[in-house]
Structure 1
């Protein structure tokens, strides 16, 4: 193998795939990055068996020039750290002797011992499904940001560590919950499809994917099978296993009706919630809504208390009082890309519904906390 490549292109590709490296894997070869130089360009692949990331840099005689084809697997961390420290923009990657990769940059020359590429598992199993979904990157990334944060981090209920992904002809719905809060968002598809499918995708895999969707004007292609999901965008291919099990139904969770509704400016409301949560015992704050304002209260015994107010833009129904976890409410507001939010109250024992005022079907729920008085 003999390849000329720019440092920028190389680092960009390695930064993507290194997220899938199995750092503590008992299989040594999975701790490395598979590098393949072919006629079409230079590809990088890493996998921890649950998540596989493949990045391709096409040969364009500028970023990449393939002089001689070949393949090798090299230690991921050492390779990444070495390349980052090099100062020249043009690099040469060459296999001069078996299982050794030489990196040349200006007056610097580094030799890394590698592993046989033929021993690296083949994760390219062809198309998973004849039907592909397409979602614009900017929309898909913001949706992951809104929804995936609501997934549970506890392994006691594995299905709740994932995001429920459901396709129904013209739209795709993503849902996540940790049992206390819930987020749901429905996206229109770029082209109509007769495909109906559902899957539970690990929230961690979606997080990693969202960081890679840099070109907002392009689209992500999605393929779903019975046990895997594949995303293709920006020269990347990200493949993840699915979580087995049945995701809980949300049909009876979202209140069908409500007693009161208020609309507040999101930025002002978020700032007030962040302030009062500082002096909130166990992060529990009280929300008191009247005809023209929302009062936020918090208290820590022997430390002090705090009160703040936010004007109401619009309202319906009578005032209400409820207590909830301020930290969880902050997460919801931070991940709502809108100017104002609509808050619906359906009773003391019903979840509070938060609807971002945007053109998309986004719904957030947060369970109130029972407190004295």
Structure 2
């Protein structure tokens, strides 16, 4: 194998695939990056069995030559050394050549590295996915949906299914739900393609976080193929495979209250800043709890009290409050996480009592919902 390549494109490709490479793997060859040179260009692959990422670098793009393949072939090189080397090479072009006994030479200008490679035939094959039905969604919308839900997955392995985001596709609508049993994030949006059949998949939160780092913020569509135990995301030059979580995701529709006793409409940005200030004195406390009080007259007050530190009280302006008076306590972190993904939009908050979960939505928008369980403070 022998080829020359633009260094910045090689660095971009390595940055993408290395996100799937784990240093703690039971299969030694998976600590490497697979490099394949073929007639169309170069393909880089990284995998840790759970996630596999393939990045394709074409021979030319927009009339400019990116790769010159002199001899096709493949090699697997240790990921951490290969990544460090290509980032620090002196010139804009790199030559990679594999000699006998898998000895690999990486040249750039007067710099030359020799790395011991591994046999490409020993590298596990990527999953074969039957493409019966391809779903399509604008990449920037997909990135937003991931960002607005993935933060609410559980960090605990006691219920592994909750470490993923539940994706369902029905009647042309993709619905993403995440919960750690203390809070819930939901976002839905139209999706194209498919064969009309409903789909269900629980995608690990870790996989979605890595996918979001790789995808460009573009209106171009990403293709999604779901099977029983794998999901494939295909963007312009990247294939991203993830295993799915096994098991049944709990029915979260029962958690969302259908009625409310107290309702408040408030500017999301101002409310977020007020919660942030109130949490300053609550951070030492377990759970950084903040208290919200809505009076009979509709006045809204946020407070936090940590006896050994001090207390804070702030009046907050709301655009409208209706219903019963209410005092409720909740995690400031959970509230701030929820408000951040609503992106400062005017927010409608519906309460059904001091110890019942409450719901946040942007005013007039049913496509996104955040639910938080209150904290008992007595």
User: Is residue 158 of structure 1 aligned with residue 160 of structure 2?
Assistant: yes
- Counterpart of 1:40 in structure 2 is 40
Distance 1:370 1:191 in 2: 46
Measure how far apart 1:341 and its partner are: 1.4
The more displaced of 158-167 and 259-268 is 259-268
Query: Any idea what the Cα deviations from partners look like across 1:11-48, whole Å, max 9, x if unmatched?
Result: 11111111111311132111100000001110011111
| Counterpart position of 1:169 | 171
2:269 counterpart residue number: 267
TM-score normalised to structure 2 length = 0.94
Distance in 1, matches of 2:67 and 2:344, equals 41
- Corresponding residue for residue 80 of structure 1: 83
Match of 1:213 in 2: 215
State how far apart, in whole Å, the 1-side matches of 2:232 and 2:193 are.
18
> Which runs of 5 or more residues in structure 2 are unaligned?
none
Of 242, 248, 255, which aligns to 1:253?
255
Q: How far off is 1:293 after superposition?
A: 4.2
Distance 2:309 2:346 in 1: 33
User: How many Å separate the matches in 1 of 2:48 and 2:310?
Assistant: 49
Q: 1:179 aligns with which of 178, 181, 203?
A: 181
| CA RMSD after TM alignment | 1.5
Q: CA deviation at 1:360?
A: 5.7
**Structure 2 residue corresponding to 1:311, chosen from 300, 307, 317:** 317
Whether 2:97 is the aligned partner of 1:94: answer yes
| Contact 1:54–1:238 (Cα < 8 Å) also in 2 | yes
SS in 2 for 1:252: helix
The answer to whether the 8 Å contact 1:170/1:193 transfers is no
For structure 1, the residue ranges without an aligned partner over 5 or more in a row are: none
- The answer to whether the aligner puts 1:354 opposite 2:360 as a matched pair is yes
Segments of 4+ moved more than 3 angstroms: 190-193, 290-293, 357-360
Q: CA deviation at 1:152?
A: 0.2
C-alpha contact 1:213 1:234 (8 A) present in aligned 2: no
Q: Is the 8 A contact 2:267 2:344 kept in 1?
A: no
Provide the secondary structure at the position in 1 that maps to 2:155. coil
- Note closer, same or farther for the CA distance 1:262–1:109 as it changes in structure 2 (3 Å cut): same
The answer to whether the Cα contact below 8 Å between 2:177 and 2:184 also exists between their aligned partners in 1 is yes
- Counterpart of 2:342 in structure 1 is 336
CA deviation profile, 1:267-323 (whole Å, cap 9, x unmatched): 111111111111123201101124554211001112100112321123332332100
Following TM superposition, by how much is the alpha carbon of 1:348 offset from its aligned partner in structure 2, in angstroms? 2.0
* Secondary structure of the structure 2 residue equivalent to 1:30: helix
Cα distance in structure 1, aligned partners of 2:366 and 2:80: 41
* Counterpart position of 2:291: 286
Larger deviation: 86-95 or 59-68? Answer: 59-68
Residue 278 of structure 2 aligns to a residue whose secondary structure is helix
Greater CA drift, 21-30 or 159-168 = 21-30
- Offset of residue 192 of structure 1: 6.7
Moved more, 100-109 or 309-318: 309-318
Instruction: After superposition, give the CA deviation of every residue in 1:223-271 in whole Å (9 maximum; x if it has no partner).
Output: 1111111111121111111111111101211001111211111111111
CA contact (8 A) 2:298 2:322 kept: no
Distance in 2 (alpha carbons) for counterparts of 1:258 and 1:63:
60
Residue pair 1:338, 1:358 contacting (<8 A) in 2 also:
no
Distance 2:364 2:97 in 1: 52
Name the SS of the counterpart of 1:263 in structure 2.
strand
Deviations 1:173-199 (A, max 9, x none): 000000100011111113474031101
- Contact 1:187–1:360 under 8 Å retained in 2: no
CA distance 1:266–1:124, change in 2 (3 Å): same
CA distance in 1, matches of 2:289, 2:234: 42
Counterpart-to-counterpart distance in 2, 1:170 and 1:71:
41
Secondary structure of 2:192's aligned partner = coil
Deviation at 1:358, TM superposition (A): 6.8
Q: 2:124 is matched with which residue?
A: 121
CA distance in 2 between counterparts of 1:359 and 1:36 reads: 47
Contact residue 133 and residue 194 of structure 2 kept, 8 A: no
* Structure 2 CA distance for partners of 1:195 and 1:235, relative to 1, 3 Å: farther
Aligned 8 A contact 1:215 1:234 in 2: no
